[in-house]
Amino acid sequence: MAAANATVLDELARGSTSVLLDVRAIGIESLDDLDAVLAGVHLEMATVALLPGPDGVTAAGWLLDLWERRSTASSDRAGLLGLDPIGVAARHGGAQTTAGGSLLGNAVLALVDRSRDLPGVRAFSLDGTVYADAGASDARELGWTTAVGVAVLRALVDHGLTVDEALDQISFTWSADADQFRTICRLRAARRLWARVAEASGATDEHWGQVQHATGSTVDLTCRDPWGNLLRGTVAAFAAGVGGADAVTVRPFDSGLGRPNEFGRRTARNTQLLLLEESALASVVDPAGGSWYVEDLTRRMAEVAWDRFRDIEAVGGANAALTSGLMEAEAAACWTARRARLVTRSEIVTGVSEFPNLDESPVERPAALPASAGPLPLRRRSEPFEALRDAADAAAEVPTVRLVTVGSSVDHNVRSTFATNLYAVAGIHALPGVDGGSSLAVVCGSDADYARDGVAVVTGLREEGVDRVHLAAHPGALEDDLVAALRDAGVDQFVHAGLDVVDLLERTLADLGAGPVPGPPSDADGSVPA
């Protein structure tokens, strides 16, 4: 606990204003452990939030007990107890209802009774990142999490709370990613949806608001060239602030590699401080308000999300949708559609699927806890490409292809640069030259050079004993007769923009003796609307 306590104190001393604790990752197993982690923390000054987890009910009780132990005044207690029964079941597995079939068991309701008179404390932290991390679309993250909120709201009212009291027990966590405007609008749409729920439930106007915590997207994190995470995290934090989040967590750039070090934590913390102090994000009320683009995208996102919310309600609510496998299937189908954009690079991951750095020094961190095996797994955008790099690194020899250029540098430069960067995605070095060096060659030139010399160059490569020949061009851009002649001469593969580069590079690594590439878990097939 001493190491965790030192980290907490250091973060607070250097500008953080609240503490978010992952009880499972830290290894907190008792009230005394929690007390030790928060030793030296003035609980009347710092908000303490617990990350939802399998032991969340017990941990929430410890936090309430700690406030009592420290004699913190009721009016000074501020925090989130981190209860999210459906979200925890989705991420970690296990039952999301009690043996009697109710969503909130006696232990949870007892915590609610203890926290309902604490104005600065909310019992529930309903986590939309559970669904976003599994691949769900923006509309599904919004609609499904709103449905979870409605399920909790109903259960609290059934327990005897008024609608206003029940709403005051609920907060939300949303994903913030490097798509700046979609993140801004996601947060705005979430508030619009919850206000609609509150109004329909008969809440008074002052209880229509939504307490929002925005956290950097795990989906966006890369292990290769992790320095790019600094840029992605900055955009996400900016968008979260502009979008109106009450609290923002920036993930350290190295958190995808394991446990972040002090430098990773410091850059994450300072990103927020710079945005607050130098960009003055907190000084403007609704900075995106009045922008037609933002207002229109917010409206459209909220409308589609409401439809997804109604889909969940139609099958019996969020609990039933998770139990039946509906959420799992739709998240997988959304991810399949997104993966198709990723592998064809219509959606790029800078530093990984585009502009990879073959000379990067590895960044190593102590291993973190393995992800829990719930029905909604964590999926990262960079994983298919990083598997290629891992296979190349594990090869007995550095995989290389022979870059054969045709014509002048002015004529071949565009395609030779494209090819060099393409193969680098898989950790394959493209070495220029016309003499030997690899069992696979890629030919690069202009269309005119291919028409004049392409067949002769390919034939010569085959006669030299080159096993596989790739040619940089889209066959649809060349004359049919030329394409046929090039294939007859020995071209095995045309490489061009729009290809499934993961499939191409897996086969290329195998041809170079650097396979097989470990594949991701299979997902559902089929397309899914927004």
pLDDT average, residue stretch 58-84: 95
d(CA 31, CA 44): 18
Q: Tell me, what's the pLDDT at 523?
A: 45
- Span between the terminal Cα atoms of the chain, in Å: 44
Query: What's the gap between Cα 476 and its chain centre?
Result: 36
Amino acid at 66: L
Q: Tell me, what's the pLDDT at 97?
A: 52
Task: Give, as one character, the DSSP assignment of residue 402.
Answer: E
Nearby residues of 92 by Cβ (< 8 Å), 6 or more positions away: 53, 54, 372, 374
Query: What's the gap between Cα 138 and its chain centre?
Result: 12
Q: Tell me, what's the pLDDT at 279?
A: 84
Q: Tell me, what's the pLDDT at 89?
A: 92
- The greatest distance separating any two alpha carbons of the chain, rounded to the nearest whole angstrom, comes to 86
pLDDT average, residue stretch 299-328: 96
- Radius of gyration over alpha carbons of the chain, in Å? 27
Amino acid at 498: G
d(CA 230, CA 488): 48
Work out the pLDDT band at 366, boundaries 50, 70, 90: confident
Q: Is 2 exposed, middle or buried (0-12, 13-18, 19+ CB in 10 A)?
A: exposed
Share of the chain above pLDDT 70, in %: 95
For residue 308, pLDDT beyond 60: yes
Spell out the alpha helix ranges (H) of 220-354: 228-243, 262-277, 292-314, 318-323, 326-343
For residue 527, pLDDT beyond 60: no
Q: Over the stretch 29-69, which tens digit does the pLDDT of each residue have?
A: 999 999 999 999 999 999 999 999 998 999 999 999 999 99
Concatenated DSSP letters for 220-238?
Answer: T--SSSTTHHHHHHHHHHH
C-alpha angle 94-95-101 in degrees, rounded to nearest 5: 175
Q: Tell me, what's the pLDDT at 173?
A: 97
Q: Over the stretch 110-164, which tens digit does the pLDDT of each residue have?
A: 999 999 999 999 999 999 999 999 999 999 999 999 999 999 999 999 999 999 9
pLDDT average, residue stretch 364-369: 82
pLDDT average, residue stretch 179-188: 97
Helix (H) or strand (E) holding 173: strand 170-176
Of residues 222, 186, 141, 241, the one with CA closest to residue 250: 241
Q: Tell me, what's the pLDDT at 110?
A: 93
d(CA 283, CA 208): 23
What is the token pair recorded at 340?
């198709």
Amino acid at 522: S
Amino acid at 299: R
For residue 519, pLDDT beyond 80: no
For residue 370, pLDDT beyond 90: no
Work out the pLDDT band at 475, boundaries 50, 70, 90: very high
pLDDT average, residue stretch 467-496: 95
For residue 517, pLDDT beyond 80: no
For residue 100, pLDDT beyond 70: no
d(CA 253, CA 488): 49
Is the CB of residue 376 less than 8 Å from the CB of residue 331?
A: yes
What is the token pair recorded at 299?
């409206």
Spell out the domain ranges in the chain. Answer: 1-125, 128-353+370-380, 396-511
pLDDT average, residue stretch 378-391: 95
Work out the pLDDT band at 283, boundaries 50, 70, 90: confident
Nearby residues of 96 by Cβ (< 8 Å), 6 or more positions away: 85, 86, 88, 89, 90, 103, 319, 322, 323
Q: Tell me, what's the pLDDT at 516?
A: 66
For residue 437, pLDDT beyond 70: no
What would be the CATH architecture of the domain defined by 128-353+370-380?
A: Alpha-Beta Barrel (3.20)
Spell out the alpha helix ranges (H) of 47-179: 56-69, 85-92, 106-115, 129-133, 138-159, 163-167
Q: Tell me, what's the pLDDT at 278?
A: 87
What three-state secondary structure class fits 376? coil
Q: Tell me, what's the pLDDT at 237?
A: 96
Q: Tell me, what's the pLDDT at 373?
A: 75
Q: Looking at domain 396-511, what is its CATH homologous superfamily?
A: Cobalamin-binding domain (3.40.50.280)
Edge-to-edge strand order for the sheet containing 18-21? Answer: 18-21, 47-50, 79-83, 121-127, 170-176, 212-216, 247-249
Q: Tell me, what's the pLDDT at 510?
A: 93
d(CA 115, CA 377): 32
For residue 5, pLDDT beyond 60: yes
pLDDT average, residue stretch 11-18: 92
Spell out the alpha helix ranges (H) of 344-408: 383-394
For residue 521, pLDDT beyond 70: no
For residue 456, pLDDT beyond 70: yes
Q: Over the stretch 168-178, which tens digit does the pLDDT of each residue have?
A: 999 999 999 99
Read off the pTM.
Answer: 0.91
Q: Tell me, what's the pLDDT at 95?
A: 61
- Mean pLDDT for the chain? 92
